[in-house]
Amino acid sequence: MKEITCKLLVIGAGPGGYICAIRAGQLGVDTVIVEMAKPGGTCLNIGCIPSKALIHAADDFHKTVAMAAGKNAMGIRAENPKIDLAKNMAWKDGITGRLTNGVSGLLKKAGVKIVVGRAKFRDGKTVAVETETGEQIIRAENIVIATGSVPVDLPALPFGGKVISSTGALSLSEVPQKLAVVGAGYIGLELGMAFAKLGSKVTIVEALDRILPLYDTSLTQPVSKRLAALGIEVLLGTKVKGMSSNGDALLAETGEGEEKRIAADKVLVTIGRKPLTEGWGREELELDMVGRFLRIDEQCRTSMRGIYAIGDVTGEPMLAHRAMAQGEMVAEIVSGKRRSWDKRAIPAVCFTDPEIVSVGLSPDEARAGGREVKIGQFPFAANGRAMTLSSEEGFVRVVARADNHLVLGIQAVGAGVSELSAAFTLAVEMGARLEDIAGTIHAHPTQSEGFAEAAMKALGHALHV
């Protein structure tokens, strides 16, 4: 094949990679992107999007089952609800298919050349791609590593057979009667709660003594309460040992040394993700590492001139929107613009039931910096819109400096609060003060009113609580 030369080569067409390539193309940069699977990466194809589709379907089914049982305060009744998981998966696949086709179209519209295959570095400017028709050599002035991450397995529970990753959970054709989930982080809880709503008997096993360790206890308490209401057994401080000899149960041990045998048709392992740093020729380069991640600076530059890295391969938080922001920035830097990277206002959203949103500093984190803080918290139980949605669990919380009222962080837990994340992030990003939020007219009746009320509470004059 004839060699390809370009100004920018992007390795990986996940959220960070494809955004980087599209923006570079828009700016007139000669760009090539290499992807060995479908455009969109893990998030679009086997992660964020399909999991949210499953969660939505599970919520609807669970509500319908409750209606059939007469457990509906609004008087709505339904009869004999059933779920066809295979059909649901086909619906989910239709969504991801539309989105991957859309990404391909956007790349072409931006003038980006797409090469399908596995890329491997030969040196800091040259990459060889294994394609269906042979080896393609690409030489580039600048290269972006956007290889993403993969699920972490356990030596005692290698993936295969009954032991599945989140990818396997999102391609099941039947709802497992008994599902054991290893790990009580956001992936395990999101999928565990979804399958419980679809009818699975779910048991969650967590080695730590709490769920969702990245969030403070006040945010996770409503989730714990909901887990119990769904009949999900949560075993904290419990370590897994492997599968039983006949493969019908997960074996575990509590902190007190008690042996646990957890019957399971499927075992979903969700103990985290690891950066994909092997298989693309890293050994041919001289890249500095920070632990298992590639080291980057505030402009996503690695230790080698002309090589950038973005997304999960560069460290926490492993979030698609972080990768997207990095990718856009790198494209503009390559085109000659001046940009830098500031990660202080990256929203984190947990799509459990209820949902959790966190932006900026928590109260403990703010105090740890030696600051005196003001905290305002407003419960959804005092919000009219939340009542009409039958979703009164949770609250909005604002953390601000005591001296000048600068907002340092905003958190919320409640039904649908993921849609408030943009407002929260904008407030932190633009340096809002409590008075700015309290003085902004929020539409009534909406859950967003809780945001203004939380700021008013911090100022000492909440109106509805």
Dihedral, CA of residue 107, residue 110, residue 112 and residue 118, to nearest 10: -20
> pTM (2 decimals)?
0.94
How far is the C-alpha of 251 from the C-alpha of 262, rounded, in Å? Answer: 6
Task: Write b or e for each residue in 86-110: b if 16 or more Cβ atoms lie within 10 A of its Cβ, otherwise e.
Answer: eebbeebeeebeebbeebbebbeeb
Which amino acid would we find at residue 230? L
Instruction: Return the domain boundaries, the chain.
Output: 4-50+88-150+274-334, 163-271, 354-459
| pLDDT tens-digit readout, 254-268 | 989 999 999 999 999
The residue assigned the tokens 């599968």 is: 243
Q: What is the mean pLDDT of the chain?
A: 95
Q: Which CATH class is domain 163-271?
A: alpha beta
| Maximal C-alpha separation, the chain | 71
pLDDT of residue 342: 73
Q: What are phi and psi of 171, to 5 degrees?
A: -130, 15
Q: How far is CA 239 from CA 152, 217, 230, 242, in A?
A: 16, 22, 23, 10
Residue from 56, 444, 461, 464 carrying the catalytic annotation: 444
Query: Can you tell me the mean pLDDT for 425-429?
Result: 96
Token digits for 147?
A: 């290889």
| pLDDT tens-digit readout, 133-143 | 999 999 999 99
How far is the C-alpha of 128 from the C-alpha of 117, rounded, in Å? Answer: 10
C-alpha dihedral sign at 402, 407, 409, 410: positive
| pLDDT tens-digit readout, 215-231 | 999 999 999 999 999 99
- DSSP alpha helix (H) spans, 69-128: 85-109
- DSSP alpha helix (H) spans, 31-75: 41-46, 48-68
Does the domain spanning 354-459 belong to CATH 3.20.20.80? no
Residue 78 above 80 pLDDT?
no
DSSP class of residue 442 equals P
How far is the C-alpha of 199 from the C-alpha of 82, rounded, in Å? Answer: 10
What is the CATH code of the structural domain delimited by 4-50+88-150+274-334? 3.50.50.60
Query: Can you tell me the mean pLDDT for 304-329?
Result: 97
The residue assigned the tokens 């500031």 is: 342
pLDDT of residue 184: 98
Residue 79 above 90 pLDDT?
no
Residue 444 is among the residues annotated as catalytic for this protein: yes
DSSP class of residue 69 equals T
Domain 4-50+88-150+274-334 identical in fold to domain 163-271: yes
Q: What are phi and psi of 124, to 5 degrees?
A: -70, -5
What is the DSSP track for 299-323?
Answer: T-B-SSTTEEE-GGGG-SS--HHHH
What is the DSSP track for 343-372?
Answer: -TT--EEE-SSSEEEEEE--HHHHHHTT--
Task: For residue 74, name the pLDDT band (cuts at 50, 70, 90).
Answer: confident
What is the DSSP track for 180-248?
Answer: EEE--SHHHHHHHHHHHHHT-EEEEE-SSSSS-TTS-HHHHHHHHHHHHHTT-EEETTEEEEEE-TTSS
